[in-house]
Amino acid sequence: MTLTSLKIKINRGEIVKIKHSAFNYDKHGQKYSGYRRTDPRIEEYVYAALESASTILNVGAGAGSYEPEDKYVIAVEPSSVMRSQRQRGKKVPAIIGTADSLPFDDHSFDASMAMVTIHHWPDIKKGLQELRRVTREQVLIMTFDPEALDGYWNAEYFPELNEIEKVRYPTIDFITESLGVNSQVQQIPIPFDCADGFQEAFYGRPEAFLDKEVRLSQSAWGFLPDGVEEKLVKRLSDDLKSGTWDKKYGHYRKKPALMGALRLIIARP
């Protein structure tokens, strides 16, 4: 799966073509680490999957979310802005590199991980195969299942955004087949006060989407055609003010966790 452009149906069925699906973190990611942080409840699933691994490779590492502090971690991250934010969290410096050409020998690491990043890779299949090549044991992929993205109220309020995400995220079958090994797929519950600010993290806190900085930490907004983001935000804002949103979806405010589209894939040789 090589992503060079996106074609989505938007604005009453109009086909809109959007160039390469990689988000420009050097331009828009200056405050990313302030909104996309390790959530300790999701972290438990990641750490359990890493088990007894001592050496770990984190590809598309960003600011270092979900990297275990008690293990030897090597990080790979192409964005200079994201690499600089690792220093704020006192993470190890990241190597400049990309997933499809990892500068390591075969089987260099006990385990490897890619946390909500593969949808940014130009050649996802090659990147996954590279992870498998340099890893002795388990490969961990945290991603979102594109077939489960319409599971809550965002399908009504952000339909254009969902269409973009469905094209960008590879299917779970594609990931497991690309890794070519035995894979376990876990559906990860998303806590109400999730610290990792992806879209589903705010299922019960819709006011967060009115904050421009929150939206900037969710890359899909950057692919909307001009004027669409403002339209979506205004509609949500109006319905929150009028009480319409709460009449329809207020029960989400009392939901302790959401079983949404978040998945952890654990692939073993």
Mean pLDDT by 10 residues, the chain (269 residues): 52 48 47 74 97 95 92 94 76 90 97 96 96 98 97 96 94 96 94 96 98 92 94 98 98 98 96
Backbone angles phi, psi at 159, to 5 degrees: -60, -40
Token pair belonging to 72: 């030897």
What is the H or E stretch that residue 50 is in? helix 40-50
pLDDT score recorded for residue 28: 42
Count CB-CB contacts under 10 A for residue 173: 11
Residue carrying structure tokens 């997933």: 99
8 A C-beta contact, residue 61 and residue 75: yes
pLDDT score recorded for residue 81: 87
pLDDT score recorded for residue 181: 75
Count CB-CB contacts under 10 A for residue 84: 16
- Would strands 262-268 and 139-144 be described as parallel, antiparallel, or unpaired? antiparallel
DSSP E strands in 111-229: the ranges are 111-115, 139-144, 182-187, 190-191
DSSP E strands in 103-149: the ranges are 111-115, 139-144
pLDDT score recorded for residue 30: 43
Cα-only R_g, the chain:
18
Residue carrying structure tokens 């029960």: 251
Integer angstrom CA distances of residue 144 from 6, 163, 218? 17, 13, 13
Integer angstrom CA distances of residue 201 from 68, 113, 125, 165, 205? 22, 21, 27, 15, 8
Backbone angles phi, psi at 147, to 5 degrees: -80, -5
Residue in 40, 20, 27, 141 with CA at minimum distance from that of residue 82: 27
Residue carrying structure tokens 């309020």: 157
pLDDT score recorded for residue 93: 87
8 A C-beta contact, residue 215 and residue 209: yes
